[in-house]
């Protein structure tokens, strides 16, 4: 779903923002922050980049087919009108 490396980086940035006096607890805080982030992000209704790209390609092909069908329908309607 989400890149674990990005989650680790985000958790580390948050842990690094902790004042120096509490740095000894930073590792524990980083682990907790990472756990909370993973928990909350897993609740989001998101798709992977790969799924998004695949659906985008499907949509493009569908649009192309629709355009072709509309052009064909217009030509058939015109041919029908020309016969009348």
Q: Which of 5, 4, 7, 25 lies closest to 15 in space, CA to CA?
A: 25
Whole-number pLDDT of residue 33: 84
H/E element, 78: helix 49-83
User: Residue 56 half-sphere exposure, CB side, CA atoms within 13 Å?
Assistant: 7
pLDDT digits (tens, 9 = 90+) for 38-75: 888 888 888 888 999 999 999 999 999 999 999 999 99
Question: Average pLDDT of the chain?
Answer: 86
- Could you tell me where the beta strands, DSSP code E, fall in 1-84? none
End-to-end CA distance of the chain: 59
Whole-number pLDDT of residue 57: 97
Residue 21 CA to residue 34 CA, distance in Å, equals 21
- Rounded to two decimals, the pTM is 0.49
Backbone angles phi, psi at 2, to 5 degrees: -110, 150
């Amino acid at each position: 779903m989400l890149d674990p490396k990005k989650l680790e980086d985000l958790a580390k940035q948050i842990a690094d923002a902790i004042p120096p006096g509490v740095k000894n607890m930073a590792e524990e805080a980083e682990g907790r922050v990472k756990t909370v982030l993973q928990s909350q992000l897993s609740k989001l209704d998101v798709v992977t980049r790969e799924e998004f790209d695949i659906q985008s390609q499907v949509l493009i092909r569908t649009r192309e087919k629709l355009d072709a069908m509309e052009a064909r329908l217009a030509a058939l309607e015109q041919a029908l009108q020309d016969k009348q």
